[in-house]
Amino acid sequence: MAAGWPGLKTDCEALLSSFQQAESVRFEDFASLWRELRFHTIFYGKIRTPEQIKFTKEALALVWPYFFPPYTFQIRVGALYLLYGLYNTQLCQPKQKIRVALKDWAEVMKFQQELLDAQHYDAAYVFRKLRMDRAFHFTAMPKFLSFRTKKNMQEKTETRSEFRDPDDRVAMLKPDDFLEEAKNIHDHYQKMKCLISEDQSQPDKALNLIKDDFIDNFKNIILEHQEWQKNKVEPALATVGEEATNDKEGPSLGTEGFERARALADIKSKSYSAVVQASKSRRHRQVKLESSESTDRGKSKSPRAKKASKSLQLRRKKETLKSRGICSYESSKEAIFLYSRFSYCFPIPAFLCSAKFLR
């Protein structure tokens, strides 16, 4: 991340490590470490303004991932304090903001609620102060994108193992060894109670502070947790396996995608097969449905077939005109020709050329 300033990451992790060793989440303890290391001086030096802006952006972007899982609660609080310190001690004017992707904001609000529930009000105040100062710059992507600039968005940074929050704390206890040691302590405790009792065969009722089946109950709880952890992991692996199998097999008849495609095809076929009935005044312009087969046959018609179809259309047109009381096209033409022979004497009125007058 900080390729131009290789010591920046080392200094930030050193401060977080010192805060982790303090075993505290109080802001006053972090502030004392900040002053002791004089951490505000990282912005000092003869750096020009463009380089200062770039350095500040990289410093804030470097610390921001420590604010999220899988880091421990203490490291996340330390990262919050470190962001607060870097933002308020920077030398840039106007101040450079902390870049926040919208997809990460839900996790940020969840952590704020954890602070309030645990009554860590100093950390909650620091976060609220950053929000009131508008220190966050909300973006679509966690890293800056530029046109024709190749950047690896899945760049993996090495994380220190001591900063990470363990995935399974129960497994860290080594349950088998722990249960065996606890059983030995419980048996020794029972024997000591018998020795100080009047009846040394069994302890007095006044000394029964712990249930006799304490170890068995504890063992059952650990087994239930291990079973829950196993059931939590197996469905995820099964889901991944099913997705890989579906990718290999490809689309099948029983898949949801095929059913959806078939439904869309049915809808389209019904839409194209339905012909809207034209009104009575436009009946002669009725739309006729032609399938792809008829279209293909029409393209391969011979000239004789084309001539026959054309004459058939002309005959139908004549019948339509006669049914409406209008003379045919040929009779109209002949009447107009007779009248045109007298055009040298007087002009023919326009109404004489109308088909209605020539009936």
Give residue for tokens 């193992």.
161
What count of residues does the chain have? Answer: 359
pLDDT value at residue 172: 62
d(CA 106, CA 110): 6
Using a 10 angstrom Cβ sphere, with 0-12 exposed, 13-18 middle and 19 or more buried, the burial of residue 16 is buried
d(CA 258, CA 46): 65
Per-residue pLDDT reduced to its tens digit, 132-166: 999 999 998 888 777 665 555 444 456 666 666 65
- pLDDT over 90 percentage in the chain: 33
d(CA 309, CA 78): 89
pLDDT value at residue 268: 72
Residue 117 — pLDDT band, cuts 50, 70, 90?
Answer: very high
Helix (H) or strand (E) holding 37: helix 27-37
How far from chain centre, in Å, is Cα 42? 37
Per-residue pLDDT reduced to its tens digit, 42-55: 998 767 889 999 99
Per-residue pLDDT reduced to its tens digit, 173-212: 666 777 788 888 888 888 888 888 877 777 777 777 777 7
The number of C-alpha atoms within 13 Å of 41 and in the hemisphere containing its C-beta is: 4
Q: Are 215 and 186 in contact (CB under 8 A)?
A: yes
pLDDT value at residue 294: 46
For residues 302 and 112, which has the higher predicted lDDT (pLDDT)?
A: 112
Domain locations along the chain: 8-146+156-165, 170-234
The structure's pTM equals 0.51
- The answer on pLDDT for 300 being more than 60 is no
pLDDT value at residue 62: 93
d(CA 302, CA 104): 70
